[in-house]
């Protein structure tokens, strides 16, 4: 489905209704450049509290994260 959108002087683009209607509930989009194209992908934002809860449920502690960061920086 092809639709045209215009970039405003404030770098804003209004997405065409017929395109947005195919993504009900989408409010946020990840934006990337890929091979000379601008690609939008609907995303669901997760609160930081949910991430902390998930890590706790998995048994991942702050020291585990700190160690993982140290390890990854050594590998560069």
Domain boundaries in the chain?
1-44, 46-76
In this prediction, residue 51 has a pLDDT band, given cuts at 50, 70 and 90, of: confident
d(CA 3, CA 13): 12
- For the cut 70, the answer to whether the pLDDT of residue 76 exceeds it is no
Kind plus residue range of the DSSP H or E element containing 56: helix 48-57
- pTM for this model (two decimals): 0.55
- For the cut 70, the answer to whether the pLDDT of residue 14 exceeds it is yes
Selection from 28, 58, 33 nearest residue 46 by Cα: 28
- For the cut 80, the answer to whether the pLDDT of residue 75 exceeds it is no
């Amino acid at each position: 489905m092809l639709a045209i959108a215009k970039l405003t002087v404030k770098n804003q683009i209004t997405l065409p209704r017929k395109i947005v209607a195919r993504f009900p509930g989408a409010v946020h989009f990840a934006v990337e450049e890929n091979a000379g194209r601008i690609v939008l992908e609907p995303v669901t934002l997760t609160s930081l509290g949910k991430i902390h809860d998930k890590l706790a449920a998995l048994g991942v502690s702050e020291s585990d994260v700190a160690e993982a960061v140290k390890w990854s920086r050594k590998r560069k």
